[in-house]
Amino acid sequence: MKSIGFVPNRLAKAVFVVLGVIVLNFLLIHLAPGDPASVMAGEAGAGDEQFLAQLRQQFGLDQPLYTQVWLYLKGVVQLDLGFSYRNNVPVAELILDRLPATLLLTGSAFVFSLLLGVALGVMAAARRGRIADSAIMTGALLFYATPLFWVSLMAILVFSIQLNWVPPFGMESVGAGLTGFARIVDIAHHLVLPVVTLGLFFTAVYTRITRASMLEVSSLEFVKTAKAKGVPPGQITRRHVLRNALLPVFTFAGIQAGQLLGGAVLTETVFAWPGIGRLMFDALLQRDYPVLLGVFLVTAVMVVLVNLATDMLYRFVDPRIEVNA
């Protein structure tokens, strides 16, 4: 009965969270020294009072802060995220343009790390105590400790520059005019290094959780019962252990969604991937407030939705669990 009120309840709370994110970030960003007008003047190598004043007026920066917040929120409700100071295009357009690249990158990294991590974890659990187990767990430890930006650079050096197996950067070969399947292959080719390097850390995490979870579930009563009853081991693993063991993995995966987006900033920077992570970083340096806020807003919404989905999935899979709404 509680689950009927669950979704609207959570959604309402989600809206509050998102609003809070906006207001907080709005205030934070305006605390940064300098403003977009002075940045643009700086880069133009010139600028006088009038020029700066014109820009500030155009950006609405000469109004009091609470007015600016209010205007922004009003816009957001109408799905108008404002205009980028620097790029002269609507923020929504800019973000929609770059979002798919990030989703592709993080989505692929997510799937890759989940599949590989679970596979490795299951293998390690099955061969517990043997060499394969130690090897996998050591590898996981190493991946867990590796700085992302560094391993990305090393990977480019080895696999792209030295071995020439994959392109070193970018999402696709520009000017090649590829369409259809050829284009998909081209993008996939460019996706390899970023996805693998971004996914390494999370692969390690999932490997370890899966292994631990598998071992924990295997030692539970119902599994011992199944073994005693003579159910074939393969079937035990698949039907009983795996399904139950994967629950904590999925919960963790849901929580990691936000972290994945954060990691995208580094990956997008090193690989020149045209996504919103890099957009956010550039906007920050350029004090392009609308873009920055827009990116945070979109990110917050996505994280909240993923959390919501994970919670619902969790409740659905195991109705005994009461998720603290």
Partner 1 sequence: MKSFSRRYMRNKGAVVGIAIVVLVMLVALLAGALFPSNPWNAVAEPLLDPFTDPAYPLGTDMLGRDIAAGLAYGARVSLLVGVVSTLVATLIGISIGALAGYYGGRVDDLLMRLTEFFQTIPTLAMAVVLVAIFQPSITSIVGAIALVSWPPVARLVRGEFLSLRSREFVQAAVVIGLRPSRIIFTQILPNTMSPIIVTASLMIATAILTESALSFLGLGDRNMMSWGFMIGAARTMLRESWWMSFMPGVAILLTVLAVNLIGEGLNDALNPHLRSRGGL
Partner 2 sequence: MKLTKRNLLAGLTVATAGMLMAHAPLSAFAQDKPVAGGTLNMLMQPEPPTLMLGLNQQGPTQFAASKIYQSLLTYSKDLKPIPSLAKSWSISPDGLTYTFVLHKGVKWHDGKPFSAADVVFSADKFLREVHPRMRALMTQRVESVVADGEDKVVFKLKQPFSPFIYAFEVSTMPIVPKHIYEGTDYRNNPANNTPIGTGPFMLKEWKRGSHIHLVKNPAYFKPGLPYLDEIYLRVVPDAASRAVAYERGIVDVLRGGDVENFEVRRLQKLTDTSVTMAGWEMFSPVMFLQMNLRRQPFDNKVVRQAVMHAMDRNFILKNIFFNVGKPATGPIASTTLYYDKNVPSYEFDMAKAKKMLADAGVKPGNYTIKLMPLPYGAVWDRLSEYTKQQLEQLGFKVTIDAADAGGYSKKVSDWDFDITMNFLYQYADPAIGVSRTYISSNIIKGTPFANNHGYSNAQVDRLFDAAPVALNPDVRQKMYSELQRLIVDDVAVGNLLELQFATLYRNKVHNLVTTGIGLNETLDTVWIAK
**Site residues (vs partner 2, CB under 8 A):** 32-36, 38-52, 54, 58, 86-89, 94, 97-98, 101, 156, 160-161, 168-171, 173-175, 269-272, 274-275, 278-279, 282, 284-287
Q: How many whole angstroms separate alpha carbon 210 and alpha carbon 130?
A: 17
Torsion on CA atoms 244, 249, 250, 253, rounded to nearest 10: 180
The β-bridge partners of 90 are 83
Q: Which does 265 bind (CB under 5 to 8 A by kind): partner 2, partner 1, none?
A: partner 1
Which of 103, 126, 148, 313: binder of partner 1 (CB under 8 A)?
Answer: 148
Q: How far is the CB of 51 from partner 2 (least distance, A)?
A: 5
Give one DSSP letter per residue of 124-161, joined into a string: HHHTTTSHHHHHHHHHHHHHHHS-HHHHHHHHIIIIII
Contact in structure between 266 and 3 (CB atoms under 8 Å): no
Q: How far is the CB of 149 from partner 2 (least distance, A)?
A: 11
Q: How far is the CB of 184 from partner 1 (least distance, A)?
A: 28
Q: How far is the CB of 200 from partner 2 (least distance, A)?
A: 20
Polymer length of the chain: 325
Which residues lie below 8 Å from residue 256, measured CB to CB, with a gap of 6+? 202, 205
Query: Which residue lies nearer to partner 2 by CB, 216 or 282?
Result: 282
Which of 215, 226, 236, 323: binder of partner 1 (CB under 8 A)?
Answer: 215
Q: Quick one: CA dihedral 29, 32, 35, 39, positive or negative?
A: negative
Helix, strand or coil, per DSSP, at residue 170:
coil
150 binds partner 1 (CB under 8 A): yes
Q: How many whole angstroms separate alpha carbon 293 and alpha carbon 57?
A: 19
Which residues lie below 8 Å from residue 117, measured CB to CB, with a gap of 6+? 202, 203, 204, 205, 206, 207, 209, 210, 249
Residues in 180-209 that interact with partner 1 by CB under 8 A: 208-209
Q: How many whole angstroms separate alpha carbon 19 and alpha carbon 12?
A: 11
Query: Which residue lies nearer to partner 1 by CB, 236 or 308?
Result: 308
Which of 1, 77, 79, 145: binder of partner 1 (CB under 8 A)?
Answer: 145
Residues in 278-317 that interact with partner 1 by CB under 8 A: 280-281, 284-285, 292, 296, 299-300, 303-304, 307
Q: How far is the CB of 109 from partner 1 (least distance, A)?
A: 14
Residues in 31-70 that interact with partner 1 by CB under 8 A: 31-33
Give one DSSP letter per residue of 255-306, joined into a string: HHHHHHHHHHHHHHHHHT--SHHHHHHHHHHHT-HHHHHHHHHHHHHHHHHH
Q: How far is the CB of 251 from partner 2 (least distance, A)?
A: 34
277 binds partner 1 (CB under 8 A): yes
Task: Report the interface residues with partner 1, using CB under 8 A.
Answer: 13, 16-17, 20-21, 25, 28-29, 31-33, 128, 141-142, 144-151, 153-154, 156-157, 161, 208-209, 211-212, 215-216, 219, 255, 258-263, 265-266, 269, 277, 280-281, 284-285, 292, 296, 299-300, 303-304, 307
